[in-house]
Amino acid sequence: MRSKILAGVIALGVLGFVGAFVWVALRPPASLQTSASGSAPIASVTGTFSDGRLDAQIYAAGNQNVRLEVQFTPDAGETATVDIRPDVYVAMVGMNMGGFDPPLELVGAGAWRANFQVPMAGRWVASVGFGEEFAEVEFDAR
């Protein structure tokens, strides 16, 4: 009787331990779940650059208003790039009308935000990066 209880307690412990690992592996990262306002991004991209990783998320605010959030995480030993503003260019996909570069505001170490309105509804692409290294993310603006 005592060995059955001990076996049951050990089995529950192992099940809980394995369940915790499965839960951590399957849930999305917290940075991609929601923004500070509680909305989920409509598009996101992660770029691995020579000196770090860049994450960008696009949030729809309605009426063709868009918010772009950028986070740069430098590699170990690379600190200078955190202070450098990334280049951002937004253009409509498949159109030969000029794009624009929305102004970014620094919101933290390596974190920037841009709020802008695209001139028309449709499919857009945002290019975010430093120098010759860019990550592109497409999104629908409505």
Same domain, 57 and 103: yes
Same domain, 120 and 102: yes
Number of domains in the chain: 2
Same domain, 5 and 74: no
Sheet holding 52-62, edge to edge: 43-49, 52-62, 65-74, 111-117, 105-108
43-69 confidence digits (pLDDT tens): 999 999 988 999 999 999 889 999 999
pTM for the predicted model, two decimal places: 0.70
pLDDT of residue 123: 95
pLDDT of residue 8: 75
pLDDT of residue 112: 96
48 burial (CB, 10 Å; 0-12 / 13-18 / 19+) is exposed
Flag whether pLDDT at 83 surpasses 50. Answer: yes
**Helix, coil or strand: residue 12:** helix
DSSP state of 111: E
Same domain, 51 and 24: no
Same domain, 23 and 79: no
Q: Residue 42 is part of a domain; what is its CATH number?
A: 2.60.40.1930
109-141 confidence digits (pLDDT tens): 899 999 999 999 999 999 999 989 999 999 999
Range of the domain at 27: 1-33
Same domain, 67 and 125: yes
18-50 confidence digits (pLDDT tens): 555 545 555 544 444 444 555 899 999 999 998
pLDDT of residue 18: 56
